[in-house]
Chains A and B, each alone.
Chain A
Amino acid sequence: DSGVTQTPKHLITATGQRVTLRCSPRSGDLSVYWYQQSLDQGLQFLIHYYNGEERAKGNILERFSAQQFPDLHSELNLSSLELGDSALYFCASSPRVLAGRETQYFGPGTRLLVL
């Protein structure tokens, strides 16, 4: 158990809908990262937040957005969902952002199925 929690574990929804995925980082970690794992794209970095501020963006679609709240949990919002958004979405956390070569600890993921 990494200490990173993600809810829900599974999510089934329809095209055009909007969903919110939630992540709670390990206690004390200030950085949260979101990754997408799909069959065709593999594991890809989406976005990084540090202490409430966006720090880096990867291959994140404009239909997707994220935020990190004062209590450090993070939410990934996916809107206007398409079939191709079906994937496993991982959250990871680490203590800081630039201090040393830190390990990212991954949550169990949220499996999203868009029908």
Chain B
Amino acid sequence: AQSVTQLDSHVSVSEGTPVLLRCNYSSSYSPSLFWYVQHPNKGLQLLLKYTSAATLVKGINGFEAEFKKSETSFHLTKPSAHMSDAAEYFCVVRNTGFQKLVFGTGTRLLVSP
């Protein structure tokens, strides 16, 4: 069965510095991988998705992620953090054969001035 592991429960950065949120996946097949963001008291918004096309995926708000099969990783990055990026980020894999999404435990990103 597919699964994802988010390696950090919390990440703290200063505004203007790079962001790295780590995610490793486990999948027997070529996976579909996603990053979703959840702002406080808000729903889930899709940041970006990987569906076996380009391994470097660009998303909204300057975020991108690179699919590395050899490392089974799908880390999320952003060159320069903004205060509005403070939120919970979920790495997600889609269960092949079904359409259900399997969520990681989430990484809370804290951005300080």
Complex CA gap A35/B102 in Å reads 10
In the complex, are the beta carbons of A33 and B100 less than 8 A apart? yes
Q: Which residues of B contact A (CB under 8 A)?
A: 32, 34, 36, 42-46, 49, 51-52, 90, 94, 98-103, 105-106
In the complex, are the beta carbons of A31 and B99 less than 8 A apart? yes
B contact patch SS: strand
Q: Using a Cβ cutoff of 8 Å, how many contacts connect chains A and B?
A: 55
Complex CA gap A48/B44 in Å reads 17
Q: For the complex, count residues of A whose C-beta is within 8 A of B.
A: 27
What chain B residues lie within 8 Å of A48 (beta carbons)? 98-100
Q: Which 7 interchain pairs have the tightest Cβ spacing?
A: A43-B103, A101-B51, A45-B100, A106-B44, A108-B43, A101-B32, A56-B98
In the complex, are the beta carbons of A105 and B46 less than 8 A apart? yes
A contact patch SS: strand
In the complex, are the beta carbons of B43 and A58 less than 8 A apart? no
Given contacts A43-B90, A48-B100, contact A90 B44 (CB under 8 A): yes
